[in-house]
Every structure is written in C-alpha cells, then in structure tokens.
Amino acid sequence: MADTVRTLAALQSLLADNETGDISPQDLRDMLVSILGAYGGFYIHASSTGHTLGGSEELCTLATPTAFDAQDLEVDTGNKKVTIATDGKYLVLVGAVCRVDSTNAVTLKIRKTASGGSSSDIGIASHYSPTQADETLSFAMAGIADLVDGDYLRLWVNGTATDVLTVTELSLVVCRLA
C-alpha cells in the first residue's frame, strides 16, 4: 500500500490512544510522510538572459536554473518549474533581482498550471515601477497556496511591449505545510 499524507485531524483520530492496539505499520508510515513534508526549488545566479516583453502576461524567459535538494516534489530545471506530488497547502517563496531597460512598470508573479493545462493566479505577485532605465529591481514574494498532485509552478511576467527584462538572480522555494 502506498504511503498517504494525512491531515492533522486524521492523524489525531488514527493515533488517538491505541487502547485496542490497532495502529498498524502503515499508519506509522503515513504519519511519517505527513510530518516530514515536501520541499524543493531552484535558483539562478548571475544570468544575462533577457526577456523581451510582449505587453501582456506571459511565461518569463529564464536561464537554466540549478535545482535545490528536493523531497516529494519534482524540480524540472529544463522547463523551469516545480511540480507538486501531494495535495496540500504550500508555502511559496520567491526572491528575484532584475533589470528592465525602461521606466515602465513590471509585474512578476507565480502562476500554477493544473495537470489539465489551465493556468491561474495563486495570489503571489510583486509589482515595481523603476525610476530610471536599466535600474536594478528587487522582488520578494511569498504566499500560501492550495495545490494538488500534478499542479506545477512557474514564473510569469507582465510589462510594456518591447521592453527587455533580465532576471539576473532568482530563487523559487516550495514547502508543503499541511
């Protein structure tokens, strides 16, 4: 039988007092996978890969990242995404340093794509309006998202058409909370 991540309430009920001695080895394995969590992510360092903005929200062009250690998540550096393997609430942390070649506003955000292919906002975004062209911009984003097996997370960008955004540093970290 596969190990199953369980909610706190389910674990408390399952492992209540064991008066009848019916806590099985599988119950204990389920407890372990529930409390050990899932984590993973990737980072980009010293990149010069530019992204010409199209004037609407789009997937951000990034240099190939380096994966962090991961457990119970798939980190796909080729497609620059983190795929969820277990349903739950996840903490998503993003830090980025970028340059844009104009004074037009830029928005970075994390979007989830469901296993069926539809993409949606998860409420993790940051917006910045540079005061001068070629200014270095720092973005920090964090949030908690309900994600399910097969969802994946990627960095999206929105800005004025023809502007060039260069993500020079990026960290994306994902951790299951419950």
Q: How far apart are CA 149 and CA 115, in angstroms?
A: 8
Q: How far apart are CA 61 and CA 47, in angstroms?
A: 11
27 shares its domain with 109: no
Identify the residue whose tokens are 């909610």.
7
Mean pLDDT value of segment 101-111: 92
86 shares its domain with 136: yes
- Amino acid identity of residue 79, one-letter, is N
pLDDT bracket for residue 72 (50, 70, 90): confident
CATH number at 144 reads: 2.60.120.40
Query: CA torsion 58→64→70→73, rounded to 10°?
Result: 30
Nearest Cα neighbor of 51 from 119, 112, 101, 120 is 101
Q: How far apart are CA 88 and CA 4, in angstroms?
A: 12
Asked whether residue 141 carries a pLDDT value surpassing 70, the answer given is: yes
Asked whether residue 83 carries a pLDDT value surpassing 90, the answer given is: yes
Judge contact between 144 and 111, C-beta under 8 A: no
100 shares its domain with 135: yes
Confidence (pLDDT) at 1: 65
65 shares its domain with 143: yes
Sequence-distant contacts of 45-50: CB under 8 A, at least 24 apart: 45/169, 46/168, 46/169, 47/166, 47/167, 47/168, 47/169, 47/170, 48/166, 48/168, 49/166, 49/167, 50/164, 50/165, 50/166
23 shares its domain with 84: no
140 shares its domain with 162: yes
Asked whether residue 22 carries a pLDDT value surpassing 90, the answer given is: no
Mean pLDDT value of segment 113-138: 89
- Which residue segment(s) compose the domain that 6 sits in? 1-36
1 shares its domain with 70: no
Number of structural domains found in the chain: 2
Reported pTM? 0.82
6 shares its domain with 43: no
88 shares its domain with 21: no
46 shares its domain with 29: no
44 shares its domain with 30: no
- Amino acid identity of residue 35, one-letter, is I
167 shares its domain with 147: yes
